[in-house]
Amino acid sequence: MSIPYSGTIRRSGGVVSAIGKQLRGVNLKAAKRITVKFDPFGENVTHTRNFLHYLSSPKIILTNPNCSLKTEIVCDRSEPTIDIALVPSIAETAKLNKVTFKSGNLTCLELLQLLNKHISSLAPEDQITNTIQTKLEKKKGKKK
């Protein structure tokens, strides 16, 4: 009498690979402006700062060059927040104006997961543009 198999076949790679997986799925096309506000002397700002560092990487900025990332430093011991203002056309369809994360008690991974859930899902799909055909390709087509 054997116990049926339970558990995973593959082991997880840890927090770092989970963060990497989320980062690969980030799409900022729906965001117009991201403002990250934190107090540097606060105790719970590590994850916000790490999140900010990931968001400012060139690969993620390339998904939407028009989205501006702004960092604000406050000195009044307030909780760290991340405000994302949506692009007006998408704000109309989704009936949201902006999304706010209160990141005092959220880890970096959770922040990225929420970002993907709320912002990346609203990103408009890429439209396939007509590619220019080279002469060689045209000849090949004609021969066929």
**40 counts as binding another protein under rule CB under 8 A:** yes
Q: Is residue 43 near another protein by the rule CB under 8 A? A: yes
Which of 18, 49, 63, 94 touches another protein (CB under 8 A)? 49
Whether 87 and 30 have beta carbons less than 8 Å apart is answered as yes
Among the residue ranges 4-12, 23-31, 63-71, 118-126, the one whose residues contact another protein (CB under 8 A): 63-71
Cα 42 from Cα 53, distance rounded (Å): 17
Secondary structure of 14-60 as H, E, C letters: CHHHHHHHHHHCCCCCCEEEEEEEECCCCCCCHHHHHHHHHHCCHHH
Stretch that binds another protein, among 13-21, 42-50, 88-96, 109-117 (CB under 8 A): 42-50
Neighbours of 131 (CB within 10 A): 7
For residue 9, give every residue at least 6 positions away whose Cβ sits within 8 Å of its Cβ, in sequence order, or none.
none
Q: Across the beta sheet with 98-102, what order do the strands follow?
A: 68-73, 31-38, 81-86, 98-102
**Of the candidates 50, 63, 107, 116, which one interacts with another protein according to CB under 8 A?**
50
Does residue number 57 form part of the binding site for another protein (CB under 8 A)?
yes
Which is closer to another protein, CB of 32 or CB of 90? 32
Q: Is 106 in the site for another protein (CB under 8 A)?
A: no
Segment lying near another protein (by CB under 8 A), choices 9-17, 70-78, 86-94, 121-129: 70-78
- The binding site for another protein (CB under 8 A) comprises 40-41, 43, 45-46, 49-50, 52-54, 56-58, 69-71, 73, 75
